[in-house]
Chains A and B, each alone.
Chain A
């Protein structure tokens, strides 16, 4: 049984990390990061089977790939707090000579990152490759992927979605961050995604919703159900209904904070809504 108090404390601390990272360099993407904080915390601390020491090939453990690389602040915070690199290194986010590039990369050797992402639409393909390698290696572990909903406007996703179903890549769980927002506005206004559940199902995926995508318990139980669906011949898609900017009242329910940092006053307000739990870096 998960220690939800500890996970909740971590969620709040990760929110602080996200806000402080983007505030310091006056750039970065807090909205999507905050919206996926509970998912990342649950994934890395409750759901994935991970080895203690990072290896690029990840043999004998579950792997995660972040397709929408712009939500790097949440990825970095959760990786650091899971022990992949020193938490203090979050201080270097987006600075010159940092391993914490604006978008995640392997290029600077940051433990926990296995592929560069940022140019959208490539993560599902990479995940399929990693999943196929797991099968060839007779490694029963899973591949987890997160992609944005707006990101599904990139055509390469649908090549990948078609391939995974057509080739029974059933050791793969792709989670779509369904927050309904993208840079220019709501996905409905920019380019409607239509019925994603029906689309994934039509391509041959096993699809499920997690309606409360910012609720740790709902995420853990939902993702465990998703895990049970693996190994049955179909790739698994989880539609995670989230609120962009979750946990900071003035950042919620809008696309305004997709790629904008809070000013000093806004940071103070946002942090006051998320008081220190585990200690700031």
Chain B
């Protein structure tokens, strides 16, 4: 088994902030917009370095999306920053018409996604955003797993022409992917090689999947662990190749099982290579207040849940 080391817990949103800082230095067309959450999104440094390219919109997310769409018309590459809830559900129609349908080069960057937002509770814990965004024609949807990957993704999407939804989170989590990684949109990352099961994870669940694979290995079960950072377009080839080898799959995400990564994988498999699948995801429910760890445990979004699901899916082969 490959060994992955947590080089020190860091929040993915800081990866976004640091990526944006780097972009500010190297790409003069990059502009940043924020709806009164500059500190939460870690956009302070970009703001200080480039006051002329930073736009404080106020608590007006619909206007922020529209302004971002308009800025692309003058050749700018706008990065909007607010919580995932206010980046998607609140402004769905604005994104749909002014960004996606209009084909505008807006990067919608969303922090505090999922249940790990924690104590603020369900009003802020969106578990439906991946589904909302992936249903929009032409939208690229990315959910990164750690600080390094989020930073790399932030930099990479500036060079990609088209609307992107980049999702990341609030809590400090293991930082284990390489600092110098080459982030390729739409390309799955194979983290472990195995033959008994394919574990496909995204976001904060990738680290949990690696922990689960280690536990499974102790009982003689080897797993292909795949980090799907790009949910749309999905890396069909990597997934099919793996599932053809292992014959079953567990998907893991911090999202409702309706509309998320698991559904995308199920659609792919059902049309190309039907196989038993178990879903690690929330079960069509809202979240609640609690610490991130408590919530991940209560809603079954951790390594032990992945281990149990793996045993179940292997039995269904």
Q: Which residues of A contact B (CB under 8 A)?
A: 56-59, 63, 65, 105-107, 114-119, 121-134, 136-137, 139, 155-156, 159-160, 162-163, 166-167
Contacts and interface: CB of A to CB of B under 8 A. Distances in A.
Given A107-B101, A163-B60, 13 more contacts: A65-B70, A105-B101, A107-B102, A119-B96, A122-B62, A126-B69, A128-B63, A129-B67, A132-B67, A132-B70, A133-B70, A156-B60, A159-B60
Contact of A115 (B75, B76, B78, B98): B98
Interface stretch (B11-19, B50-58, B195-203, B251-259): B50-58
A130 B70 CA distance: 4
Given A122-B94, A128-B67, A133 B62 contact: no
A107 B73 contact: no
Contacts of B57: 163
Nearest to B138: A107
Interface of chain B: mostly helix, strand, loop or mixed: helix
A130 B71 contact: yes
Contact of A57 (B58, B62, B69, B74): B74
B102 A58 contact: no
A163 B58 CA distance: 8
A161 B60 CA distance: 11
B70 A136 contact: no
Contacts of A166: 58
A101 B257 CA distance: 36
A156 B66 contact: yes
3 smallest CB-CB distances across A and B, nearest first, come from A129-B70, A125-B66, A133-B74
B158 interface: no
Nearest to B106: A129
B31 interface: yes
Contacts of B102: 105-107, 115-116
B63 A160 contact: yes
Given A126-B67, A156-B63, A163-B67, A56 B73 contact: yes
Contacts of B62: 121-122, 125, 155-156, 159
Contacts of A128: 63, 66-67, 70
A190 to B, nearest CB: 21
Contacts of A156: 60, 62-63, 66, 94
B73 A133 contact: yes
Contact of A159 (B55, B63, B74, B97): B63
A136 B52 contact: yes
Contacts of B52: 136
Nearest to A169: B67
Given A122-B94, A156-B94, A136 B74 contact: yes
A129 B104 CA distance: 12
B51 to A, nearest CB: 12
Contacts of A117: 97
Interface in B58-105: 58, 60, 62-76, 78, 93-94, 96-98, 101-104
A189 B55 CA distance: 38
Given A117-B97, A132-B55, A139 B74 contact: yes
A166 to B, nearest CB: 8
B235 to A, nearest CB: 27
Nearest to B74: A133
Range, interface on chain B? 20 to 34
Contact of A122 (B73, B74, B76, B97): B97
A132 B71 contact: yes
27 contacts: A58-B74, A105-B102, A107-B102, A107-B103, A116-B98, A116-B101, A116-B102, A122-B66, A122-B98, A124-B66, A126-B70, A126-B73, A128-B63, A129-B68, A129-B69, A129-B78, A133-B76, A134-B74, A136-B74, A155-B62, A156-B62, A159-B63, A160-B66, A160-B67, A162-B58, A162-B60, A163-B60
B171 to A, nearest CB: 31
A141 B80 CA distance: 25
Nearest to A117: B97
Contacts of A167: 55
B97 A118 contact: yes
A41 B208 CA distance: 62
B74 A163 contact: no
Given A119-B93, A119-B97, A162-B58, A114 B73 contact: yes
Question: Taking each of A57, A116, A128, A131, which has the highest tally of chain B beta carbons within 10 Å of its own beta carbon?
Answer: A116
A122 B31 CA distance: 20
Contacts of A65: 70
B76 A126 contact: no
Contacts of B66: 122-126, 128-129, 156, 160
A167 B73 CA distance: 19
Contacts of A133: 70-76
Contacts of B64: 125
Contacts of A134: 74
A63 B63 contact: no
A271 B286 CA distance: 59
Contacts of A162: 58, 60
B73 A129 contact: yes
Question: Taking each of A127, A159, A166, which has the highest tally of chain B beta carbons within 10 Å of its own beta carbon?
Answer: A159
